Structure 1
């Protein structure tokens, strides 16, 4: 499927970009958190700009994936972004990956396979009725507001986790808006796309999610923010797919293997995010005997 291929390409680009952004954001003083000075500081760093370049590539691939497949199929595939990134980083740094990393890769991969096979997402329409967006945007805004208010009372990794979930919500909303906008392109051409509010709402939601992600990465370790970002994006996107686009997932006793899949992905993400490669650094080379 074209959508699966471009979803994988999106995951690889996004994951690589997130690691580069984390490396840059970790150098920002706490006094610049949740302020525009954070972005000004990052704009002067080539590493961060390279990460943003990969995010742009990912956005193009994501648009193609969402235009050709259900959101409940495309977005969950993005959980492979961290494993793919670490494998690429290991190759680039010519570093032998420790067993923990391989175990994390296996956990995320098996969790994704089990989750997709159990949920069997699919179906649904390509666009969303305008009235449905009103309640969706209101509920999303309330949820984001609560997360941001809660994060102001937290510090360190707890704050990073809360902001990671807030960023995940923003990215899931961006994907839903993007899919709806791409449907306008298919139905009415470029004119319909550029006159649709969904296109511009996609840009606003995407910028907001990016801002929240930078603050999540600055607030604490990648091991705290990445699982919330990865799982939050996947699960909230599935919710958007079901409620807005009429897509379907299996429930009932299928919830048990789906829960096991979530646990596997969570454990795998935490394990991988603790790797030195996830922080943008190469691990020490193996000793020569």
Structure 2
């Protein structure tokens, strides 16, 4: 049990570090408050952002490895602890102090998310998802995300961070659901990797990445990262419960508990969005001679 736990904690730190490094270049990239798709191409040319992306991929991979050697009830809470790592790392990079309110809000998110995930059953049968259903699922995620993306310019930075991360997390959670179907079926037949579901997973993943980098761009990194940690797995669990037959909490007590934990996680995320600590380099949207003016938030 020792090694899976160590791997899970290492993975949580690696994912948090990667995301914090990505934020550094996301807020400095040229463009509007809500950048267009070319924004990702710019980030792909930034060495630090690429290192951050590699660290995030490594963190996700380590989390999956840890799950193969220990129960979900042990590993999932350890994965969520990455939020505290992210809060501290972001503060260090921005030369700010970590406020007690941020820590309390982060713990609330961790406890709430862990409670929700543990109350949902986790099926072991090979999942099946028709292509038509997958198209509707991916289309809904992308369509909702596109609506947020097109209207985010008129939102305050805190609200923009939450909604972009919510839409991005939903797209990435959809990717997780699609990837679960593809990988589970590819175990017996690797040719299953070449399918419409794989293409849809790639599309939702790229779109989700665009939304998340724009969420980081607001400067409210802790809130955006917390929203991602909540939305991604919850959407994945919901897809499993509704579309893949993995089930939902069966007893009234479990359902009420899941709702209470959800409220706790949401309250913690809102508190993080309202925190005064924000990346001082985040664009405030005012422009002069084609150059974004950045202000330091006090």
TM-score using structure 2 length: 0.72
Listed one character per residue, the Cα deviations across residues 88-134 of structure 1 (whole Å, up to 9, x for unaligned) are: 678999998543344234323432443345x24222523224x2x42
How far 1:25 moved relative to its partner?
0.9
Matched, 1:266 2:272: no
1:137 maps to what in 2? 135
In the alignment, is the contact (CA less than 8 A) between 2:91 and 2:97 conserved in 1? yes
In the alignment, is the contact (CA less than 8 A) between 1:148 and 1:163 conserved in 2? no
Cα distance in 2, alignment partners of residues 76 and 141 from structure 1: 31
1:193-204 to 2 correspondences below 5 Å? 193-204=192-203
Cα distance in 1, alignment partners of residues 93 and 25 from structure 2: 19
Listed one character per residue, the Cα deviations across residues 177-213 of structure 1 (whole Å, up to 9, x for unaligned) are: 222222133212xx43543444444333322211221
1:285 maps to what in 2? none
In the alignment, is the contact (CA less than 8 A) between 2:182 and 2:197 conserved in 1? yes
How far 1:254 moved relative to its partner?
2.5
1:186-265 to 2 correspondences below 5 Å? 186-188=187-189, 191-219=190-218, 221-251=220-250, 252-265=252-265
In the alignment, is the contact (CA less than 8 A) between 1:101 and 1:275 conserved in 2? no
2:150 maps to what in 1? 152
How far 1:167 moved relative to its partner?
0.8
Name whichever structure is richer in helix by fraction. 1
1:45 maps to what in 2? 46
Cα distance in 2, alignment partners of residues 246 and 159 from structure 1: 34
Cα distance in 2, alignment partners of residues 8 and 126 from structure 1: 28
Deviation >6 Å, runs of 4+? 1-7, 65-77, 88-96
Q: 1:156 to 1:222 in 2, by over 3 A?
A: farther
Q: 1:242 to 1:20 in 2, by over 3 A?
A: same
Q: 1:214 to 1:106 in 2, by over 3 A?
A: closer
1:117-132 to 2 correspondences below 5 Å? 117=118, 119-129=119-129, 131=130
Provide the aligned length of Structure 1 versus Structure 2: 275
In the alignment, is the contact (CA less than 8 A) between 1:114 and 1:258 conserved in 2? yes
Cα RMSD (Å) of the superposition? 4.0
1:104 maps to what in 2? 105
Q: 1:183 to 1:229 in 2, by over 3 A?
A: same
2:23 maps to what in 1? 22
In the alignment, is the contact (CA less than 8 A) between 2:126 and 2:185 conserved in 1? no
How far 1:261 moved relative to its partner?
1.2
Cα distance in 2, alignment partners of residues 126 and 65 from structure 1: 21
How far 1:250 moved relative to its partner?
1.1
**Runs of 5+ unmatched residues, structure 1:** 282-289
